[in-house]
Structure 1
Amino acid sequence: MAAPQPTEATTAAEFTTALRALRMWSGLTYRQLEGKTAAHQDRLPPSTIATTLGRATLPREHFVDTFTRACGLGDDEVLLWLKTRRDIAIRATDEDDEDEPAPALGAPVRSRAPRWRRAASLLAATFVGVVGTVAVDAVVDRSAPASPSASPVVGLTIRPVGSWARVHPARTPELCLTEGRADHRAGAVAVQGSCADAPLPYAFIEPLGADVVQIQWHHPRHGIRCLAVLLGGPDRDVLEPRHECADDDPAQRFRIEPAGPPGATDVRIRPVATDLCLGPRDRATSAGAEIVQTPCSATSDQVFLIEPTAPP
């Protein structure tokens, strides 16, 4: 299958979407891409790659050059990506110059972008999740689910390049692992919430090894974040979404293991850093309850269902 092309991209958001599609086409994890960039006498840490691909702004030329080569493109293809990026940058500069009125004599120079342009940037970011999924769909064959025997996660139809999914507590399948707030901290945490009322963020399960995955949250405004278990401090044991995704961070790696008879889709999710088990705080069944790590037991509150879904 041919690599995705950037030629249809006319905005920074569309260009970044095309880069995400290229990364999915390559089939490489962030960690593997880092190794490829090192082979080209350079280095892009996984956190840099994830952060850059999660934005709707135009990446630096150096990033585009290094990243596209790491994905396996040759010189001519890399030059096409660089040319497209340059054209978008020039076009954006020209539009800014045309839209900005000349200041009156003696008036301070206005440094902020026009209001319509700031609004357009926000609108473009809102569409990143949808457009990115369409682009990824164009380069990844989703016509048939992967067989469990070929899956990097035993018993689940998770593709080697990752799959969109919903993660449900098995006791309350109407709830999903999603973003929420907790009284004891200002930032976002992972909670169990109504699947119908909380469609965002979209969950993406990326295999990192045999039965080990990274749980990513894709959001049209917040970009790509990765769930990590907190290992210390007052919020110890809760899950938080981090913009700094790192395949080699044990706190962001989760082991998936069967929790039922052979062939069942029930699983336990265990942070690699501690080998404990995830479950709702105080074994709660209500929406809004935090998902935390606790000692593993035979109780049903630590059992989850991972349901592959169509692209959002």
Structure 2
Amino acid sequence: MPDGTDDLDPGSAETPTDLVGLLRQLRDRSGLSFRRIERLARAAGDNLPASTLATMLGRNTLPREELVRALTRACGESPESVDRWLAARRRLVDAAAMPPTAGPAGPEPAVLPGPPDRRPRPGLLLLAVATGAVVAIAAVLTGWWLSRPADRDGTARTGPTGTVRSAPTGDVDPGTREAGGQGATRIRVAHSGLCLSERAGRGDGQVFQASCAGAFPARSLSAPITASGGGISYLIRTDHPEFGPGCMGIREGSRKVGARVEDDYCGQEGAGEQFHLDPVESPRPGFRLRLVHSGLCVTVDHLDAEWAELVQRPCDPGHAGQVFLVEPAPPEIRPAPLR
């Protein structure tokens, strides 16, 4: 990619807001997803989790130096350009630390006579104390209400971001195996009975088959989409406990055989996030998850191995690792409705 300073000049930033805005433009121009930047940063020896990057670019405060270095390096900036970004940040830090310049001394302000008695009257003092007590009690009750983990029906009122969350509607009907509606969904490999899951502590979004007891993130089918190549397709949405809403897809929208299935923010993989759900009866009843963009099918090669990865391969009517059960998620793991 270009060196980055022809049209993005960090030296032009006059405030932290300006610098963060330029960093946003740098990331947008790179075309890289947050998780892709996380992987590139890790490969370069930097530490820039996708969640940290999202927070950093969502604020207007000055990012830490190591985060600026990691982002600019991951976006392909040259060492000289990285130094310019860091120099711009240091300049803003120094400017914030300087005391304001005193202006010329002016005449002393005139002192106006006050009322003859500045002591508050007893009635007003009691009113002020009572008002303060009411405000304090209201604040305590409000904090208790918002911090409650759940109502009696088990529906959480507040999520990690403080938004109201409730149970979704529109389940997949497991009796008819029709996947025709929105709903909290559990996807299992028909042969092994294991569930689709990321691996804790990795943060790269790669999807494996794993025990359903600890499987995450929660998944949900979108409303039906008319695919560009014809037929109906779906998004398999995710609700990650750390990264928030996203979509399952093929890494970087690749069409290559063997490309990995991963979760990322919606829109990062393009058509690599749309799936046809093809009903099958053999070798087991269920669905094939066929990619719209490549025509390939989601596949588990090592069916008897927990943490076997999911990849895309040519659709094979006899491959048991291409048959999945799409069923309503148990109530305890249902996410909030995703739009």
**TM-score bin (small chain):** 0.3 to 0.5
Higher gyration radius (CA): 2
Give the number of the structure whose residues are more often strand, by fraction.
1
TM-score, normalising length from structure 1?
0.47
TM-score, normalising length from structure 2?
0.44
